[in-house]
Structure 1
Amino acid sequence: MNTRGQLEVLPKGDSPQRITRSALFEEVAERLRTRIFAHDLPPGSWIDEQAITAEYGISRTPLREALKVLASEGLVTLTPGRGCKVTLLTEQDLDEIFPILALLEGRCAYEAALRMDEAAHARIDALHDALEAHFVANNIEAFFEVNQQFHLAIQEIAGNRWLTQLVQDTRQKLKLMRFHSLFREGRLQESLEEHRAIVAALRQPDAAAAQVAMENHLLQGRRAMGRLGSA
């Protein structure tokens, strides 16, 4: 309806329900996010905007919009007049992030324990067996990957999508420091023992014990990273 009260005819193929293509800056943000998590763009490194625009064949506008998105996610830091660099987490950042993550994932474990069924037990047992095998083989990279699957499985079993979203948003920041807590001598075994406590609580099931075991696991991981930094 136009201002004269007459119906307007939309051009053929032009509809209010039409789905548009994703904005270019979203694709650029995803590419940069992938490179950051792969440490192709390591923490603390400055992002060369000129090189990236040339590599991707784009102008500065979509790149800068993409960097704003990544800055809102905490993955990069924008400095007026200087440019943009990949976020380098500090000791204080870790001290603030891990207790929050422990609370969130502890609640996931609590809710998962209340929903454990035969299929859930089989899934958790299979992942834990894989962790045991990778520990024996001292395969840190494989252990880390299965560890991620283990935590995600507990979130999915819990079935609380709001809680899962909060966990994933928080965990995304920690991808900037991948592997660090497992590289310290003895940490791999500690982590495995903490997983055993979580699995034992889920098997009972004991929701309160599962929550405590998961919180302890995350907080011990933070302490391990702190000792590594001091070393």
Structure 2
Amino acid sequence: MTDPNATDADGAAGEQNRDATADPTAGDLPRGVVDEVERLTRLERTAVDENEIAAYEQRRDELLDDHDFTARIRDDDGDDVLVCHPEAWHEDGVVRPDRIEDIDRAVEIPLEGTADPDDWESVDDHNRDLVAAVREAHGDVHGDNAALLADFAGNHYAKPMESLTSAELAEFGTEYVIRNAWPSEKQREVLAESTKLVFETADEPVPEIQF
């Protein structure tokens, strides 16, 4: 839900990215809640039926309410960013700077990537189908890694996994997985192999992978 009355205070909180609460044991919003809030927001933005839009928004707000959080969409130089922060920071719908005791409690989720299509949902469906194919052909460890790559490709670049560049894959393996995911030891050992299998399963050339 967009708050037209929001002040620059929560723009200041926006200097922190979603990594501030990436650890599922730290902060106020568990990683699973953050992921679901992001998913519901993207579905809301791509839906056309008003009842469907309202249902996605209501479910997102209920999840945040369980943790005494609220959300708004902030325009960041033309790119929309979902900002989740404690309800206690608000008074009459406006963020009060004097109530922000710890900006690390805020979570930012960029909603637009370098290839942000209007049909994000169809891109996500495609990626999930590819994850299922990798899992069926190569087992759960590679399937779990493919699921991590699907999260990264969809949420950060809004593009099919098999269209990720070498630079984007390097970001996935050296930054995203470390900060935003908690793969098992087995997953970490075969992460590069799993990534190659995603491209091979999609029948696409495997780019250079450096991680």
Tell me the TM-score normalised to structure 2 length.
0.29
Greater relative contact order, per chain length (Cα 8 Å cut-off, separation 6+) = 1
Question: When you count strand as a share of all residues, which structure comes out higher?
Answer: 2
Tell me the TM-score normalised to structure 1 length.
0.27
